């Protein structure tokens, strides 16, 4: 059995996928969750870190990442294939796993090379978890209005050796498990909007950080309030330029909207298949129509995401057109779970078995697909302005 | 076809269709090298020609050639093909007691061609599809104006002596026809969106272009999402050709056309409700094209039945 180390440094995508699936088959027992699904969030996080450790050790988790951060290089599509395979086999929760794609590229592109080389392998190998501190109580869609503040500890912005952070973040996913946070803070004056924001890479064990998990609508405490009271962050932890945090925040989108989506799509196909298994024997003449509709929606999304991945792989820079992918992924996810609720309403509403808990939890979570990562309305604003050229709105 | 050849063909198709005005586009297509290019370069020629037909709202009989090519025959202007009835995709004919009996639709070619090709499905007990060519004179063809007189469709009945020939790959012909129709719908959808977008920037109400109103912007954005999803589904159907990916592309086409038409019609409002404005032609054409070789609803239901029967939900396209 060949591992991820032995397939060479630039396998084709198909080669990589075939070998990977062979390897996953052979290591199925070792990789399988140690708990019945869905499991608690603690169990899910532990499982993900274990799977990351095993697949990093076997080389798979290193393909598609640059060599300067411990990767084997090659097309980012390779890591997309890995995430999709893990999600489609129920080995990791795609939402949790996607944070790697959201956060590692930021460090690679914007951290000092030594810092990136030091920390990115720790994220990939499951030694660490990171979180993204963007949203605030007064700042959701209008990210440029954020108020969490960072000021130079000594001297001015150019000469200071450290920054002092004060303020609050909210809805920070997995902050309670995280070793680091990619934080956006205001370094310009109050009215400076996107010109006065800086990105920091903050150690979550820094004195002055308090994390308070919040219960979500599905009963899980996945996101948190994070409070910063005089938190000292060394100046070499600035990502990108001082006052250049907007570019850092925007750079996340291409990966979030390609690799992460492909993983979620793989997961949605699996869940639709499991729904079919759940309801196939029942006397309900709507089944074929409802399943067929969800399948059409899912296929449209997969086809679109595939085009986007190919553009990324051929070196194109992804931009506003990924808002189309974002609208489609949210619509397809909600279509799949609408199908679940329509065809298995009692499972969603009343089934207290682990299986029922899982369908219910995922159904509720799917409602956030039009909220996180930029709401559906914000995506349509972007499409109207940037893709349709309709000019500014009122 | 490389990218340059392709864009030259796109430009040539555009010019030829523009020059033809309201006349049927078959002659214009012939000057472009259709149907020879269909045989030589099926993928690009179907994409470019049918997209251009959709955009131009043109009437042509090129679908006959696509079905013939899908059946493995050499397409030619003298050969018309009997299409399945509206919303269906089963072979339109049956062979029984030495006769072919068929009911279906045909393009305007049925009035000019020499032969009409009738594919016959199960009924003879073999389960396979057979092909019979009858003289067009033996077919009773009646124009169907319907909601889109410009589409040139005819309702056709055949009852004629015939013997079964060899079997033909009907599924492959259906798949190719669905891809062609998908492109034509995509062209029509782009055309509707272009009209609505131009109107939104042009039309002033409350002292500003209506493109400034978010309700209008979001409708157009949603329309673009559907157009792009459809175009991607057509790429998937061409990259991973087969009955399923073609069926899905046709289903996405039907959904996209309905969404795009609804959003654009609302944005065009009164002017789009008149026959002075070109929007109505695209709306009509989209409604008719959805019904050829299976509507989105019928295809989605059929796919759903297969998924449920097999308890499998295949991903079909890979990176
Ligand atoms: C499950 C989940 C996980 C999350 N994880 C994180 C995380 O890890 N890190 C993080 O920083 N944040 C996270 N978030 C927060 C998320 O980014 C925000 O919820 C999102 O940006 C929307 O902000 P808001 O909730 O304040 O809504 P608001 O911005 O207040 O919007 C409320 C409503 O108004 C609409 N609206 C707002 N502005 C406009 C406009 N210009 N045009 C039209 N409509 C508009 C919105 O679309 C929405 O419907 C998470 C959220 C969820 C649900």
Asked if residue A392 is part of any domain, the answer here is: no
Contacts of A89 (CB under 8 A, 6+ apart): A24, A28, A31, A270
Averaged pLDDT, A55-62: 97
**Ligand 1 centroid – CA A81 distance (Å):** 29
**Are B66 and B79 in a shared domain?**
no
Q: Could you count the other beta carbons within 10 Å of the beta carbon of residue A193?
A: 16
**Are B229 and B138 in a shared domain?**
no
Find chain A residues with C-beta within 8 A of B305's C-beta: 288, 292
- Catalytic choice (A81, A256, A333, A357): A256
**Are A280 and A360 in a shared domain?**
yes
**Are A122 and A141 in a shared domain?**
no
**Are A302 and A375 in a shared domain?**
yes
Question: Residues 249 to 308 of B: which have CB under 8 A from any A CB?
Answer: 251-252, 255, 296-297, 299-305, 307-308
H-assigned helices in chain B: 3-20, 26-32, 36-40, 42-56, 62-70, 170-202, 214-239, 243-272, 279-291, 296-310
Asked if residue B319 is part of any domain, the answer here is: no
Q: What is the pLDDT of residue B126?
A: 55
Helical (H) or strand (E) element with A103: helix A94-110
When scoring B216, B221, B224, B231 by the number of chain A Cβ atoms within 10 A, the one with the most, hence best to mutate, is B221
Averaged pLDDT, A182-186: 98
**Are A110 and A207 in a shared domain?**
no
pLDDT digits (tens, 9 = 90+) for A259-276: 899 999 999 999 999 999
**Are B161 and B288 in a shared domain?**
no
**Are B92 and B176 in a shared domain?**
no
**Are A189 and A233 in a shared domain?**
yes
Where among A112, A128, A144 does a domain terminate? A128
Averaged pLDDT, B116-144: 86
pLDDT digits (tens, 9 = 90+) for A199-245: 999 999 999 999 999 999 999 999 999 999 999 999 999 999 999 99
**Ligand 1 centroid – CA A97 distance (Å):** 21
**Are A72 and A140 in a shared domain?**
no
Domain coverage including residue A123: 13-128
Is there a contact between A296 and B303 if contact means CB atoms under 8 Å apart?
yes
pLDDT digits (tens, 9 = 90+) for A367-392: 999 999 999 999 999 999 999 999 99
Contacts of B44 (CB under 8 A, 6+ apart): B1, B5, B6, B9
Q: How far is CA A288 from CA A273, A284, B245, B249, B295, in A?
A: 12, 9, 18, 18, 15
> Which of B211, B218, B315 is nearest residue A302 as measured by Cβ atoms?
B315
Q: Is the CB of A381 under 6 A from ligand 1?
A: yes
> Which of B200, B235, B300 is nearest residue A296 as measured by Cβ atoms?
B300
Asked if residue B287 is part of any domain, the answer here is: yes
CB pairs under 8 A between A and B: 160
Label residue B45 exposed, middle or buried (CB < 10 Å: 0-12, 13-18, 19+): buried
> The CATH number of the domain where B122 resides is what?
2.40.110.10
- Percent of chain A topping pLDDT 70: 100
**Are B250 and B221 in a shared domain?**
yes
Q: What is the pLDDT of residue A195?
A: 98
Estimate the crossing angle of helix A322-343 against helix A287-313, to 10 degrees: 160
**Are A268 and A200 in a shared domain?**
no
Is there a contact between B300 and A269 if contact means CB atoms under 8 Å apart?
no
> The CATH number of the domain where A49 resides is what?
1.10.540
* Owner of token pair 């006959």: B64
**Ligand 1 centroid – CA A136 distance (Å):** 10
Q: What is the pLDDT of residue B106?
A: 98
pLDDT grade for A10, boundaries at 50, 70 and 90: confident
Where among B151, B168, B185 does a domain terminate? B168
Averaged pLDDT, B250-261: 98
* Contact by Cβ (8 Å): A78, A10: no
Domain coverage including residue B162: 73-168
CA distance A185 to A203: 15
Residue whose CA lies nearest to ligand 1 atom number 41: A378
Tell me, yes or no, if B171 comes closer than 8 A to chain A by beta carbon: no
Asked if residue A326 is part of any domain, the answer here is: yes
Q: Is the CB of A95 under 6 A from ligand 1?
A: no
Residue B125 predicted with pLDDT over 80? no
* Contact by Cβ (8 Å): A358, A383: no
**Are A137 and A24 in a shared domain?**
no
Asked if residue B78 is part of any domain, the answer here is: yes
Helix (H, G, I), strand (E, B) or coil at B194: helix
Asked if residue B316 is part of any domain, the answer here is: no
Averaged pLDDT, A265-293: 96
pLDDT digits (tens, 9 = 90+) for B49-102: 999 999 999 989 999 999 999 999 999 999 999 999 999 999 999 998 899 999
pLDDT digits (tens, 9 = 90+) for B208-244: 999 999 999 999 999 999 999 999 999 999 999 999 9
> Which of A77, A291, A301 is nearest residue B304 as measured by Cβ atoms?
A291
**Are B178 and B154 in a shared domain?**
no
pLDDT grade for A180, boundaries at 50, 70 and 90: very high
CA distance B272 to B291: 23
pLDDT digits (tens, 9 = 90+) for A73-132: 998 899 999 999 999 999 999 999 999 999 999 999 999 999 999 999 999 999 999 999
**Are A214 and A298 in a shared domain?**
no
CA distance A86 to A92: 6
- Percent of chain A topping pLDDT 90: 91
Closest CA to B132 of B172, B107, B99: B99
Closest CA to A77 of A18, A31, A12, A26: A12
Where among B136, B168, B200 does a domain terminate? B168
pLDDT digits (tens, 9 = 90+) for B63-78: 999 999 999 999 999 9
Q: What is the pLDDT of residue A317?
A: 87
**Are A270 and A168 in a shared domain?**
no
**Are B178 and B294 in a shared domain?**
yes
**Are B298 and B198 in a shared domain?**
yes
Total structural domains within chain A? 3
Where among A128, A154, A188 does a domain terminate? A128
Tell me, yes or no, if B243 comes closer than 8 A to chain A by beta carbon: no
**Are B24 and B147 in a shared domain?**
no
**Are B1 and B93 in a shared domain?**
no
**Ligand 1 centroid – CA A200 distance (Å):** 21
Is there a contact between B248 and A13 if contact means CB atoms under 8 Å apart?
no
**Are A62 and A136 in a shared domain?**
no
pLDDT digits (tens, 9 = 90+) for B268-300: 999 999 999 999 999 999 999 999 999 999 999
Q: Is A283 labeled as catalytic in the residue annotation?
A: no
Helical (H) or strand (E) element with A322: helix A322-343
pLDDT digits (tens, 9 = 90+) for A303-340: 999 999 999 888 898 899 999 999 999 999 999 999 99
Asked if residue B317 is part of any domain, the answer here is: no
Q: What is the pLDDT of residue B268?
A: 98
> The CATH number of the domain where A152 resides is what?
2.40.110.10
Is there a contact between A388 and B233 if contact means CB atoms under 8 Å apart?
no
Residue B8 predicted with pLDDT over 50? yes
pLDDT digits (tens, 9 = 90+) for B181-195: 999 999 999 999 999
Total structural domains within chain B? 3
Asked if residue A170 is part of any domain, the answer here is: yes
**Are B154 and B231 in a shared domain?**
no
* Residue B49: HSE in the Cβ half-sphere, 13 Å Cα cutoff: 29
pLDDT grade for B124, boundaries at 50, 70 and 90: very low
**Are A206 and A227 in a shared domain?**
yes
Where among A128, A153, A181 does a domain terminate? A128
Q: Is the CB of A135 under 6 A from ligand 1?
A: yes
Where among B133, B168, B203 does a domain terminate? B168
Asked if residue A185 is part of any domain, the answer here is: yes
Q: How far is CA A261 from CA A140, A352, B85, in A?
A: 21, 30, 39
**Are B107 and B10 in a shared domain?**
no
Is there a contact between A80 and B319 if contact means CB atoms under 8 Å apart?
yes
Residue A302 predicted with pLDDT over 70? yes
């Amino acid at each position: 059995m060949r591992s991820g180390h032995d397939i060479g440094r630039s396998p084709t995508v198909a080669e990589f996928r075939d070998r990977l699936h062979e390897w996953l088959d052979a290591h199925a027992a070792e990789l399988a969750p140690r708990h019945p699904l869905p499991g608690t969030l603690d169990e899910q996080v532990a499982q993900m870190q274990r799977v990351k450790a095993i697949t990093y050790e076997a080389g798979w988790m290193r393909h598609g990442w640059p060599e300067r951060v411990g990767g084997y290089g090659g097309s980012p599509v390779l890591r997309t294939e890995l995430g999709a395979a893990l999600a489609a086999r129920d080995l990791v929760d795609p939402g949790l796993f996607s944070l790697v794609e959201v956060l590692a590229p930021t460090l690679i592109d914007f951290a000092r090379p030594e810092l990136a080389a030091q920390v990115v392998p720790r994220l990939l190998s499951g030694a660490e978890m990171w979180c993204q501190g963007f949203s605030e109580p007064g700042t959701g869609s209008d990210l440029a209005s954020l108020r969490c503040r960072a000021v130079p500890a000594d001297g001015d912005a150019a000469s200071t050796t450290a920054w002092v952070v004060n303020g609050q973040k909210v809805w920070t996913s997995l902050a309670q498990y995280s070793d680091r946070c990619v934080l956006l803070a205001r370094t310009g004056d109050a009215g400076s909007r996107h010109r006065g924001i800086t990105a920091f890479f903050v150690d979550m064990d820094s004195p002055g950080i308090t994390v308070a998990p919040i219960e979500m609508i599905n009963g899980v405490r996945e996101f948190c309030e994070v409070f910063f009271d005089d938190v000292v962050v060394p100046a070499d932890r600035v990502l990108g330029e001082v006052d250049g945090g907007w570019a850092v925040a925007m750079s996340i989108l291409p990966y979030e909207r390609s690799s992460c989506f492909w993983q979620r799509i793989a997961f949605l196909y699996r869940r639709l298949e499991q729904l079919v298994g759940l309801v196939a024997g029942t006397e309900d003449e709507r089944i074929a129509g409802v399943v067929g509709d969800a399948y059409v929606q899912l296929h449209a999304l997969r086809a679109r995401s595939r085009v986007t991945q190919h553009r990324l792989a051929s070196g194109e820079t992804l931009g506003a057109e990924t808002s189309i992918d974002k609208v489609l992924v949210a619509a397809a996810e909600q279509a799949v779970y609408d199908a679940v609720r329509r065809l298995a309403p009692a499972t969603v509403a009343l089934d207290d078995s682990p299986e029922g808990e899982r369908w219910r939890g995922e159904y509720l979570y799917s409602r956030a697909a039009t909220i996180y990562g930029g709401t559906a309305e914000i995506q349509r604003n972007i499409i109207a302005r940037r893709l349709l050229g309709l000019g500014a709105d009122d | 076809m490389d990218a340059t050849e392709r864009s030259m063909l796109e430009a040539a198709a555009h010019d030829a269709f523009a020059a033809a005005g309201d006349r049927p586009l078959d002659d214009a297509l012939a000057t472009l090298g259709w149907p020879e290019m269909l045989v030589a370069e099926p993928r690009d020629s179907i994409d470019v020609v049918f997209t251009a037909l959709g955009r131009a709202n043109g009437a042509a009989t090129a679908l006959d050639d696509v079905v013939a090519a899908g059946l493995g025959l050499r397409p030619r202007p003298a050969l018309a093909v009997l299409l399945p009835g509206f919303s269906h995709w089963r072979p339109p004919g049956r062979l029984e007691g030495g006769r072919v009996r068929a009911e279906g639709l045909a393009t305007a070619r049925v009035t000019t061609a020499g032969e009409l090709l009738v594919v016959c499905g199960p009924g003879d007990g073999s389960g396979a599809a057979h092909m019979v060519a009858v003289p067009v004179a033996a077919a009773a063809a009646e124009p169907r104006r319907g909601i889109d007189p410009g589409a040139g469709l005819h309702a056709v009945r055949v009852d004629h002596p015939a013997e079964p020939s060899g079997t033909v790959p009907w599924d492959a012909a259906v798949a190719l026809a669905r891809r062609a129709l998908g492109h034509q719908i995509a062209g029509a959808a782009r055309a509707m969106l272009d009209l609505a977008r131009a109107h939104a920037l042009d039309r002033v109400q409350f002292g500003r272009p209506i493109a400034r109103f978010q309700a209008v912007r979001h409708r157009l954005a949603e329309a673009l999402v559907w157009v792009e999803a459809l175009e991607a589904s057509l790429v998937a159907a061409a990259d991973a050709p087969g009955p399923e990916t073609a069926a899905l592309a046709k289903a996405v086409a039907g959904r996209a056309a309905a969404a795009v038409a609804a959003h654009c019609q609302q944005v065009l409002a009164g002017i789009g409700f008149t026959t002075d404005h070109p929007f109505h032609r695209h709306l009509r054409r989209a409604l008719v094209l959805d019904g050829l070789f299976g509507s989105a609803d019928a295809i989605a239901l059929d796919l759903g039945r297969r998924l449920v029967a097999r308890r499998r939900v295949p991903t079909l396209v890979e990176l």
